[in-house]
Amino acid sequence: MSDLSGAMALLQLGDSFFPSGAASFSWGLETLRAEGHLARAGDVEAFLAGQIRLRWATFDRPVVLASHRAHGDLEVVAAVDREADAATLAREAREGGRRIGAALLRVHAGLGTPGAASYRDRVASGHAPGQLAAVQGLAGFGCGLSESATCALSAYGVGVAIVSAALRVGLLGHLDGQRILSRCRPLAVEVAAGPPAGIESLHAYTPMAEIAMMRHEVGTGRLFAN
């Protein structure tokens, strides 16, 4: 894939216009906003930085990389996928990852991305959970993206999910949203430079977000699915 073609593929797959259902998920932000823990743009920036450093770097990224490095071997992808699923404590986080993963698989299967239709069938028959990060690695490899491009896509997805949810609940305006994404980019680059954690040592430490998602399960007046 040429540089330009690769860049255009990345733009297409990373665009919020690319359908995956991601707009329905806030990953705890909705509850944190409702309960007063996030009140302004600076809080959102700190929240996103925490998500990148303490979850994406040590959890999502290793899963994306391991799935990409499976080179289309679906048994390996499924093993990584199962680890990611088992290590996700909050139900809404686990189910959210499955739902977006399934939606993404369905779209990639429809587009003919190699490996997507077969893996979609595994997920649909209950033989793999279909967690988002594992699907991102599989689809990134299938689309011919490099490891780093696939990781960039994953990190950017975390940023857009948080910032766009924050914008929609009224925590910030459109310029603040773009400023936060810009300011958090070097952090994602920094943590992506290190060696990834092994799949056997996946870990995250984002207790406020996880507790918020647990509380969200029984909340009323929900805009988001988590």
Partner 1 sequence: MNEITPGFPAVAAASAPRSAARVGVGGPVGSGKTALLEQLIPRFTARGTNLAVITNDIATKEDAERVRRTSLLAPERVLAVETGACPHSAIREDPTLNMQSADELDRTFPGLELILIESGGDNLASSFSLDLVDFWMFVIDVAGGDDIPRKRGLGVLSCDLLVINKTDLAPYVRSDLDRMLREANEVRGGRPVLTTNCHTGEGVDAVMEHIAREVLFDR
In the complex with partner 1, which residue's Cβ is closer, 118 or 146? 118
In the complex with partner 1, which residue's Cβ is closer, 61 or 94? 94
Question: Which tokens is 82 given?
Answer: 């199962």
Contact (Cβ atoms closer than 8 angstroms) between residue 77 and residue 67? yes
Position 63 contacts partner 1 (CB under 8 A)? no
In the complex with partner 1, which residue's Cβ is closer, 134 or 191? 134
Figure out which of the listed residues 70, 84, 143, 165 binds partner 1, where binding follows CB under 8 A: 165
Figure out which of the listed residues 84, 123, 163, 191 binds partner 1, where binding follows CB under 8 A: 123
Of 169, 212, 208, nearest to 31 by C-alpha is 212
- Give least dist CB 123 to partner 1, A: 4
- Give least dist CB 94 to partner 1, A: 10
The Cα–Cα gap between 39 and 32 comes to 9
Position 107 contacts partner 1 (CB under 8 A)? yes
Count CB-CB contacts under 10 A for residue 202.
Answer: 22
- Binding segment for partner 1 (CB under 8 A), chosen from 40-48, 69-77, 116-124, 187-195, is 116-124
From residue 10 to residue 39, the character string flagging contacts with partner 1 as x (rule: CB under 8 A) and all else as - is: -------x-xxxxxxxx-------------
- Binding segment for partner 1 (CB under 8 A), chosen from 44-52, 55-63, 103-111, 187-195, is 103-111
Position 103 contacts partner 1 (CB under 8 A)? yes
The Cα–Cα gap between 226 and 214 comes to 9
The Cα–Cα gap between 68 and 77 comes to 8
Identity of the amino acid at 46: A
Figure out which of the listed residues 36, 112, 195, 221 binds partner 1, where binding follows CB under 8 A: 221
Figure out which of the listed residues 8, 39, 189, 223 binds partner 1, where binding follows CB under 8 A: 223
* Site residues, partner 1 (CB under 8 A): 17, 19-26, 82, 85, 98-99, 101-103, 105-107, 109, 120-121, 123-130, 165, 168-169, 220-225
